[in-house]
Structure 1
Amino acid sequence: MDIVDKLNEELLKQTFAEEQKLTEHLDEYKHIASMYARTENAIAVLSDMKTNTSYLYYGGVAEKLGLAERDTSKTVHSIWEEEIFGLMHPDDLLEKHLQELRFFHFLKSVPSRKRRDYYLTHNMRMLDNSGRYMHVLHRIFYIANDSNGSVWLSLCLYNFSINTSLNCIIINSTNGQALELEKQNCNNLLSDREKEVLQLIDKGKMSKDIARILSISINTVNRHRQNILEKLQVSNSIEACRVAKELKLLHA
């Protein structure tokens, strides 16, 4: 999936400071994740961007989903929990990655010391061990940064939910304020010129046509194209147009 690939690339190519305290604090965060799994019967996934490693802790939810026995854990060499993704309804998995992309861009506007105050929550459908879709509440926190401001650790929690709404909400855990992700302003993600270029791409225009219409060089058009792909974290123009429409940067 292109969104996953680009988000994966962005997270793993961050520049991390060589800080011993990161390693020293890892065991503390692993203990926190394991306690979430035990006390909430949740699946807790602690992902380390610096080493591309995830630590999974299983509560009772994992048994019902047929993933693992409760009170067990394992380590995988990836920041993506593919085994869990395989149980998600395909539409919800796509939506999950898109909304996490939006949340990641939202956090870029937040001072690094306050990023852990916010988390994204939404419901999804996942197959249980009998092949029936269950409603699951997913929460993601970016809980630790290094001194450069790079995201170091994320924590994902999965619990069963009685809420059938699939809306995504950002919660500020310090004051209880809820922000609907759909209402977050992403207009500044692309420049006005980049939006013009992408609108023409969406209409099927080639680079030479865009250059003529906007009275700019083809090299400038190509530079805008590359910037658009990087900002939207996609690998091609088709995906760029689709994601831009989802973010309401283009008219559908």
Structure 2
Amino acid sequence: MKTYLLLLLCVLSTKAFAQEASVTGKLIDGKTDQPIEYAGIILADKADSLKKIGVVSNAKGEFNFLRVASGDYNIRISLMGYNTILKTITVNGKSINLGIIKLTEDAIALKDVSVNGKYATATIKKDTVEFNADAYKTQPNAAVEDLLKKYQMEFQFFKILNEIEVVERTNYQVVTQLRIKNTEGKYILLQHRLVYLASNNDGSVWLSLCLYNLINEHLEFTIPQSVIINTLTGKVIEHDEQKIKHIITEREREILQLIKLGYRSKEIAEKFSLSINTINRHRQNIFYKLNVTNALEACKVAETMGLL
């Protein structure tokens, strides 16, 4: 009896395993036939659009979705400067190789916009969000007030992601309108979107994507100045500069200003007639609220966020 039961379990296990397959492919440039790296590929269940996973192509242009259950899926392949590709596939327990996929240049997107590499804005690690101060450097070709809104909304966006379940993160995105100077020194309008794609097993954000699109000059074509949108419920979180400014208290702002000027904890304590322990506690509160690990990062992020 035990032997038959063991055989039955083995058959069921084999059958269940066989129902999961892989979906692979390779991306190349339509003109040069060179592999395309860092393209974003999203695999979404047609029956439930909330069920989706994302990967990026490697240096060889290859991508691979592992352990894909049987069903119908939509595939979206996108990369700044290239036309987006949409495909529909059906997985029936067998692995699918989509072969070589050629991406063609988006002539409109490439006409005026020059995109350079940048640091990751933030990393969510379990119950904390670590912000990269080097990501908050003012770009010389962008309007400062637009960048300020963008950075403030990104800060709030990652805060929200940190407070919700992983399965809900794909519902949120940041939409910001930016004025950027082109190569001729003229301002053009861009739509910037920051979207979440995937997390690691420990809940930390593994992949998020910044998308930039040229805004057509048309009276009826407008986008929000800066908002966070829940695409599932339609809820919109408006940019609230006053709320951002009150992330830290007035006392913490005063202490941070002195830290920026090079004052040590002992000197700050003497200036405010407080104990060193109290000042150090304020310092730790500042680091926690700004999600940074040292005074230099705190000053950089606070200054760029308009807190100093």
Fold in common (TM above 0.5): yes
Decide which of 78, 82, 88 is 1:34's aligned counterpart. Answer: 78
Structure 2 residue matching 1:135: 3-state secondary structure: strand
Decide which of 49, 59, 65 is 2:112's aligned counterpart. Answer: 65
Decide which of 263, 286, 296 is 1:235's aligned counterpart. Answer: 296
CA contact (8 A) 2:174 2:194 kept: yes
CA contact (8 A) 2:153 2:227 kept: no
Q: Which moved more, 1:201-210 or 1:152-161?
A: 201-210
Per-residue CA distance 1:172-198 (angstroms, 9 max, x = gap): 1112221113179569955xxxx2641
Write the distance in 2 (CA, Å) between the matches of 1:65 and 1:139: 18
Structure 1 residue matching 2:158: 3-state secondary structure: helix
RMSD over equivalenced CA pairs, Å: 4.4
Which has the higher relative contact order, 1 or 2, with Cα contacts under 8 A spaced 6 or more apart? 1
% of aligned pairs identical? 30
Decide which of 176, 186, 210 is 1:156's aligned counterpart. Answer: 210
Write the distance in 2 (CA, Å) between the matches of 1:159 and 1:121: 11
Q: Which residue of 2 aligns with 1:180?
A: 238
- TM-score of the two chains, using structure 2 as the length reference: 0.48
Give the counterpart letter for 1:65 in structure 2: D
Write the distance in 2 (CA, Å) between the matches of 1:202 and 1:151: 29
State the shift of 1:215 in Å.
Answer: 7.6
Q: Decide whether aligned partners of structure 1 residues 98 and 63 sit closer, same or farther in structure 2, where only a CA change above 3 A counts.
A: same
Structure 1: where are the runs of 5+ without partners?
1-22, 41-56, 69-73, 247-251
1 or 2, which has the higher helix percentage? 1
CA contact (8 A) 1:88 1:127 kept: yes
Query: 1:68-83, aligned counterparts within 5 Å?
Result: 79=120
Aligned residues: 196
Give the counterpart letter for 2:276 in structure 1: I
State the shift of 1:64 in Å.
Answer: 1.4
Structure 2 residue matching 1:140: 3-state secondary structure: strand
**1:171 maps onto 2:229 in alignment:** yes
Query: 1:102-141, aligned counterparts within 5 Å?
Result: 102-141=156-195
Give the counterpart letter for 2:83 in structure 1: R
Q: Decide whether aligned partners of structure 1 residues 86 and 79 sit closer, same or farther in structure 2, where only a CA change above 3 A counts.
A: farther
Q: Decide whether aligned partners of structure 1 residues 147 and 181 sit closer, same or farther in structure 2, where only a CA change above 3 A counts.
A: farther
Write the distance in 2 (CA, Å) between the matches of 1:226 and 1:24: 36
Structure 1 residue matching 2:279: 3-state secondary structure: helix
CA contact (8 A) 2:77 2:84 kept: no
Give the counterpart letter for 2:289 in structure 1: K
CA contact (8 A) 1:38 1:58 kept: yes
Structure 2 residue matching 1:153: 3-state secondary structure: strand
Write the distance in 2 (CA, Å) between the matches of 1:154 and 1:172: 16
Write the distance in 2 (CA, Å) between the matches of 1:242 and 1:125: 21
Structure 1 residue matching 2:296: 3-state secondary structure: coil
Write the distance in 1 (CA, Å) between the matches of 2:161 and 2:84: 28
State the shift of 1:95 in Å.
Answer: 3.7
Write the distance in 1 (CA, Å) between the matches of 2:234 and 2:281: 42
Structure 2: where are the runs of 5+ without partners?
1-52, 57-62, 66-74, 86-103, 122-134
State the shift of 1:148 in Å.
Answer: 0.9
State the shift of 1:199 in Å.
Answer: 4.3
Q: Decide whether aligned partners of structure 1 residues 219 and 109 sit closer, same or farther in structure 2, where only a CA change above 3 A counts.
A: same
Give the counterpart letter for 1:150 in structure 2: S
Q: Which residue of 1 aligns with 2:280?
A: 222
Structure 2 residue matching 1:108: 3-state secondary structure: helix
- TM-score of the two chains, using structure 1 as the length reference: 0.57
1 or 2, which has the higher strand percentage? 2
Q: Which moved more, 1:170-179 or 1:160-169?
A: 160-169
